[in-house]
Amino acid sequence: MKKNLQDKKNIPPIVEELTKLCDRLLYISETDSKVLPFFSVGEFPETFLIDQRTLKEAKIETGSSDDFFERTTRDRDWHNANDRKRIEGFRKLEIFMKANLRDLSLYKIGRIRIDIYVIGIDAEGNTAGIQTKAVET
């Protein structure tokens, strides 16, 4: 028990806030996937991208964080109350990430089953952001 409490003390504040903002957020594609915080000490190593998939199936796309958030924060006429609540959650997440992370980037890794990362560098020089999954056929 003591170890768990100690571990919680070592969680960087940015991860705590990302965890709160990601709570119950779903990324909608052909499957719905949880949005989770991502944190890595130091800058995001490019080798991480390759390590996530075998070289045979690795397809890596990069883009702007705006590409991700434009899709997740856009209002549609047919949205219901739950959709609007999810959109508002993504808007809050976007505001927080843009205010607290520099060099925000989007990484999409894979072909049909895609790992998605929206990450940047925090004030201490570590990589932080979010991760989720999508299925696109």
pLDDT of residue 5: 36
Q: Tell me, yes or no, whether 36 lies in a domain.
A: yes
Q: Tell me, yes or no, whether 122 lies in a domain.
A: yes
Q: Tell me, yes or no, whether 7 lies in a domain.
A: no
Q: Tell me, yes or no, whether 2 lies in a domain.
A: no
Average pLDDT, the chain: 85
Is residue 76 classed as helix, strand or coil in its secondary structure?
coil
Q: Tell me, yes or no, whether 51 lies in a domain.
A: yes
Q: Tell me, yes or no, whether 1 lies in a domain.
A: no
Domain containing residue 112: 14-135
Predicted model pTM: 0.85
Strands (E), 10-51: 26-28, 32-34, 36-40
Number of independent structural domains in the chain:
1
For 85-106, write each residue's pLDDT tens digit: 999 999 999 999 999 999 999 9
The burial class, CB within 10 Å (0-12 / 13-18 / 19+), for 66 is: middle
pLDDT of residue 4: 38
For 41-79, write each residue's pLDDT tens digit: 887 766 566 555 555 556 888 899 999 999 998 888 888
Q: Tell me, yes or no, whether 3 lies in a domain.
A: no
CATH number assigned to the domain comprising residue 121:
3.40.1460.10
CA angle 86, 117, 71 (to 5 degrees): 40
Mean pLDDT over 18-46 rounds to 90
